[in-house]
Amino acid sequence: MTKEQEKPEWQDVLERCGLQVLENATQDAPPVRSAIYAVTGFEVEPVATIPASSPDAAAELDAKWHLHASSVSLYDDNGEFLILPPVSGGSEIGWVRVKDTVGRNLPSRVAKVTGSPEFLAVSTDGRHLCAASVEEYEHWVVLHEFS
């Protein structure tokens, strides 16, 4: 069996999204449940909303996600951050350290591979979350800071 055949599905999905999976794990990531709640909780207020019916919804989500991710220094100096694999069971896999080999249009790249632009990303120090979320009639960008 080749190394390519041994690769887990979640890793293949991340790589097809233009994310290089890195070997070094992190101890600084917030608890997965806390991160999910920071995006899906009842009182969550997005920093940006894009109507799903907008003809340029994908491009607007890309631009706003990257703007807000930059504003909180989500990517470190090497272009690395943590992501929950955007696959079924991704929360059980937990945080994966990745490097963005493309550097733009991440929500669209995730949507092209998975069918949805939704994902949660956290800075390598575990302090800043920037997520793309799909709500009933809108796409949201959500920021959260962990203390």
Report pLDDT digits (tens) over 74-121.
999 999 999 999 999 999 999 999 999 998 999 999 999 999 999 999
Structure tokens at 71: 């504003």
34 part of a folded domain: yes
Q: Are strands 138-145 and 48-51 parallel, antiparallel or unpaired?
A: antiparallel
Q: What would the mean pLDDT of 10-21 be, rounded to a whole number?
A: 96
Domain interval for residue 28: 7-145
- How many domains would you assign to the chain? 1
Q: Are strands 96-100 and 119-122 parallel, antiparallel or unpaired?
A: unpaired
pLDDT of residue 1: 45
Crossing angle for the helix pair 106-114 and 57-71, nearest 10 degrees?
A: 130
* DSSP assignment string, 67-107: HHHHHTT-S-TTSEEEE--SSTTHHHH--EEEEESS-S-HH
pLDDT of residue 24: 66
31 part of a folded domain: yes
93 part of a folded domain: yes
Report pLDDT digits (tens) over 16-38.
999 999 976 667 899 999 999 99
Task: Supply the DSSP symbol for 29.
Answer: P
2 part of a folded domain: no
pLDDT of residue 55: 95
1 part of a folded domain: no
